């Protein structure tokens, strides 16, 4: 599956009020592996950034003067994103700005050009209800190194988001067996007798049991008490 992690920087907070995109950063993940096929543009927004926005991203108006306008890169951006699953933190913000930029160049809404959008802020709120779920907070919680993030930057934030997402969905890839391109497909169906092997049983320690119980409580709270083990327990007792 081809996934793109996307982030933008803008001149301010209001796309409807005329604020514009000044930076787009995209990082590609294919089958849960970073490919290095990234996309990054600084853009001339044809207006100055608000003072508060400058404090966030630190990208000066002078630096952007000779950069391409969105109209000049729009087709390249759409070709890169086409039919990919796009992952954004607080997607409503970035998509709102991109929709306005696309509207200015006569293109349809952002979601019309991609296969799907995943909002990691929504994911995080479901997994960690009641906790801070900013990108920095998730980096701290999940052990992602964000020490180089003194200012916001679209490409850096997209790279951090990729690490955060992989950690949020960790364990999924452990169920997959990789088969090299030159290996015949039918070899994957060979059955191996493991009956003679003594597999060690590694029991959880007290710290791991407490952490596991805490995670179960968070999942139970996020699902409104509709977790599988609750429903299974109810059906067995009835």
What are the sequence ranges of the domains in the chain?
A: 2-174, 204-238
Indicate the average pLDDT of the chain.
Answer: 86
Alpha helices in 17-115 (DSSP H): 51-57, 61-64, 70-81, 91-104
Percent of the chain with pLDDT over 90: 67
Q: What is the pLDDT of residues 22-79, one digit of tens each?
A: 999 999 999 999 999 999 999 999 999 999 999 999 999 999 999 999 999 999 999 9
- Catalytic residue, chosen from 113, 152, 207, 212, is 152
Q: Report yes or no: 154 and 23 within 8 Å, Cβ to Cβ.
A: yes
Confidence band, pLDDT 50/70/90 cuts, at residue 183: very low
Homologous superfamily (CATH) for 2-174: Ribonuclease H-like superfamily/Ribonuclease H (3.30.420.10)
Q: Report yes or no: 45 and 21 within 8 Å, Cβ to Cβ.
A: yes
| DSSP sequence for 99-119 | HHHHHHTT---GGGTSSEEEE
Out of 6-10, 23-27, 141-145, which region has the weakest mean confidence (pLDDT)?
Answer: 141-145
**pLDDT of residue 197 exceeding 90:** no
Q: What is the pLDDT of residues 88-104, one digit of tens each?
A: 999 999 999 999 999 99
Can you state the angle between helices 206-222 and 120-127, rounded to 10 degrees?
A: 110
42 Cα distance to chain centroid: 21
Confidence band, pLDDT 50/70/90 cuts, at residue 198: low
**pLDDT of residue 189 exceeding 60:** no
More confident of the two residues 201 and 137: 137
Sign of CA dihedral 96, 99, 19, 28: positive
Specify the pairing of strand 21-30 against strand 2-10. antiparallel
pTM of the model: 0.71
Predicted pLDDT at 191? 58
Predicted pLDDT at 230? 65
Predicted pLDDT at 46? 97
Indicate the SS3 state at residue 10.
strand
Confidence band, pLDDT 50/70/90 cuts, at residue 1: confident
Cα 178 from Cα 102, distance rounded (Å): 39
More confident of the two residues 146 and 12: 12
Cα 195 from Cα 227, distance rounded (Å): 34
Indicate the SS3 state at residue 223.
coil
The torsion region of residue 171 among left (phi > 0), alpha (psi -120 to 50) and beta comes to left
Indicate the SS3 state at residue 178.
coil
Q: Report yes or no: 43 and 15 within 8 Å, Cβ to Cβ.
A: no
| Residue tagged 């087709």 (tokens) | 75
Q: What is the pLDDT of residues 213-231, one digit of tens each?
A: 877 777 777 777 777 766 7
Cα 233 from Cα 144, distance rounded (Å): 36
Check if 152 is active-site.
yes
Out of 35-49, 84-98, 128-142, 167-181, which region has the weakest mean confidence (pLDDT)?
Answer: 167-181
């Amino acid at each position: 599956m081809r996934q793109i992690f996307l982030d933008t920087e803008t001149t301010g907070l209001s796309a409807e009020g005329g604020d514009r995109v000044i930076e787009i950063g995209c990082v590609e993940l294919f089958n849960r592996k970073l490919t290095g096929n990234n996309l990054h543009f600084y853009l001339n927004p044809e207006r100055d950034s608000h003072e508060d926005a400058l404090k966030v991203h630190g990208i000066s108006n002078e630096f952007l003067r000779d950069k391409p306008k969105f109209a000049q890169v729009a087709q390249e951006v759409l070709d890169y994103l086409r039919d990919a699953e796009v992952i954004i933190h607080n997607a409503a913000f970035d998509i709102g700005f991109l929709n306005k930029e696309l509207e200015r160049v006569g293109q349809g809404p952002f979601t019309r050009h991609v296969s799907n959008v995943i909002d990691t802020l929504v994911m995080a709120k479901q997994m960690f209800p009641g906790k801070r779920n900013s990108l920095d907070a998730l980096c701290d919680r999940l052990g992602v190194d964000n020490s180089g993030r003194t200012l916001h930057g679209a490409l850096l934030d997209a790279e951090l988001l990729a690490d955060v997402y992989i950690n949020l969905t960790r364990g999924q890839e452990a169920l997959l067996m990789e088969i090299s391109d030159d290996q015949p497909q039918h070899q994957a169906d060979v059955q191996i007798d493991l009956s003679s092997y003594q597999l060690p049983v590694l029991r959880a320690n007290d710290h791991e049991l407490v952490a596991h119980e805490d995670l179960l409580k968070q999942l139970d709270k996020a699902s409104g008490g509709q977790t599988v083990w609750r429903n299974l327990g109810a059906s067995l007792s009835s």
